[in-house]
Amino acid sequence: MGDEVKKGLLGIVVDETTISQVMPDINSLTYRGYAVQDLCEKCSFEEVAYLVLNGDLPKKKELKKFKKQLEENRNITINLREIVKHMPKRSHPMDVTRTIVSVLGLEDKETNNNSPEANMKKAIRIFAKAPTAIAAFFRARKGKNVIPPKKNLSFSENFFYMCFGKVPNKEIVKAFDVSLILYAEHSFNVSTFTARTITSSLSDIHGAITGAIASLKGPLHGGANEEVMHMMNKIKKPENALKWINKTLDKKEVVMGFGHRVYKKGDSRVPTMEKYFKKVSKVKSDKKFIKIYEIVKKVMIDRKNIHPNVDYPTGPTYHLMGFDTDFFTPIFVISRITGWSAHIMEQHAANKLIRPLSKYSGPDHRKVMLLNQR
């Protein structure tokens, strides 16, 4: 074994997975072999969630059963609702989201049962309940009444309903569905690897997802969609965009929403999300963000040859839908719970404790001197 240190485990293959891969020959992210852009056009988010968790797309009967399971598990306890209501209003929603999953773990009767059956049931409970609790905080911090889930609404429709008290038109719902499909899973990214590392010690699914959420919060991972929106708000209007982006690059500052460790020719999820960002812009009669988006993107490609990642079009899309900027990453969470859960179950199925080595670079062996001699 050589002494070479691969910082950030760059290029190191640590395990196998059947859940997703980026296929360079078709420059596409695939879930269980299906190209993600095809899933976006032909499937609902519930179908894709089922696929990620179960290994294949559902038949009609299976989908109906799955939707019923989600519907039956959407309600949260009075205890959790009260906890969310009493969270400090200034808390970051990602910290609230992390706490929500912890509380769900405290309330779940099967927390310590790591059997495949129990883990699947717990995954479905977390997946169904987390959006309800997150939407409760969305409202509570604004001093509004909490809206419980409603029967006969899809996953996306229900989230809008719980946040805003109404369901928007079909195009907005579809764009939201597409964003959730694109965010559902992405192989061994930071948060997923965190979840698998926690699981490798035979910890429980709630703990692993809580750790994954903490990891996703960072601006170099899930928090990037928030940073994109902060950037667009700094630019303010299209007339400022060219000057702002050139000045930022001249100062060698990082531009969020661009570049990716896995994709070198551009994130394969971008064209699909961009298409739906444009649709939402049209519905909302907004030209400002699209113009800023295009100017910054062109300069980044022309000057740096760095392409946007999926967070770049997602940020302004969520903004136009009416979500607060600091809620963008919790929305990412409600989707990625599916990918994390699948990886946690896969880790359990063939577990080996994840314990890498480190290369020591501190002082050589030293003698301990007594206090009066130091």
pLDDT digits (tens, 9 = 90+) for 106-128: 999 999 999 999 999 999 999 99
Which pLDDT value is given to residue 2? 55
Which pLDDT value is given to residue 259? 82
Residue at token pair 């640590």: 14
The mean per-residue pLDDT over the stretch 47-75 comes to 98
What secondary structure does DSSP assign to 341-371, as a single string?
Answer: HHHHHHHHHT-----------S----PPPPG
Read off the pLDDT band of 1 (50, 70, 90).
very low
Which pLDDT value is given to residue 247? 95
Residue 70's nearest CA partner among 90, 87, 45, 94 is 45
For residues 209 and 128, give the distance between their C-alpha atoms in angstroms, rounded to a whole number: 14
Q: Is the pLDDT of residue 262 over 60?
A: yes
Catalytic, 92? Answer no
Helix (H, G, I), strand (E, B) or coil at 153: coil
For residues 343 and 341, give the distance between their C-alpha atoms in angstroms, rounded to a whole number: 5
Read off the pLDDT band of 194 (50, 70, 90).
very high
Helix (H) or strand (E) holding 230: helix 224-235
For residues 303 and 255, give the distance between their C-alpha atoms in angstroms, rounded to a whole number: 13
By the 8 A CB rule, do 295 and 242 touch?
A: yes
Q: Is the pLDDT of residue 134 over 50?
A: yes
pTM of the predicted structure, to 2 decimals? 0.94
The mean per-residue pLDDT over the stretch 68-87 comes to 97
Which pLDDT value is given to residue 270? 94
pLDDT digits (tens, 9 = 90+) for 161-193: 999 999 999 999 999 999 999 999 998 999 999
Give percent of the chain with pLDDT exceeding 90.
87
Average pLDDT taken over every residue of the chain = 94
What φ, ψ does residue 345 adopt, rounded to 5°?
Answer: -70, -35
Helix (H, G, I), strand (E, B) or coil at 171: helix
What are 32's two structure tokens?
A: 């269980």
Least confident of 28-32, 128-132, 152-156, 256-260: 256-260
Helix (H, G, I), strand (E, B) or coil at 324: coil
The mean per-residue pLDDT over the stretch 247-252 comes to 94
What are 216's two structure tokens?
A: 């996703």
List, in order of start, the domains of the chain with CATH numbers: 16-219+339-349 (1.10.580.10), 224-321 (1.10.230.10)
Residue at token pair 């059956």: 117
Phi-psi region of 237 (alpha: psi -120 to 50; beta: other; left: phi over 0): beta
What are 287's two structure tokens?
A: 């030209």
Which pLDDT value is given to residue 7? 85
By the 8 A CB rule, do 306 and 259 touch?
A: yes
* Angle at which helices 328-349 and 170-183 cross, to 10°: 40
Please pick, among 260, 319, 343, 348, the residue that the annotation labels catalytic.
260
Helix (H, G, I), strand (E, B) or coil at 286: coil
Give percent of the chain with pLDDT exceeding 70.
99
Buried b (16+ CB within 10 A) or exposed e, 76-88: beeebbebbeebe
Helix (H) or strand (E) holding 316: helix 311-321
Catalytic, 311? Answer yes
What φ, ψ does residue 314 adopt, rounded to 5°?
Answer: -70, -40
Which pLDDT value is given to residue 308? 92
Read off the pLDDT band of 280 (50, 70, 90).
very high
Please pick, among 108, 177, 267, 311, the residue that the annotation labels catalytic.
311
Q: Is the pLDDT of residue 3 over 80?
A: no
Count of Cβ atoms closer than 10 Å to residue 199 Cβ: 27
Instruction: Label residue 171 exposed, middle or buried (CB < 10 Å: 0-12, 13-18, 19+).
Output: middle
Of residues 249 and 266, more confidently modeled: 249
Helix (H, G, I), strand (E, B) or coil at 51: helix
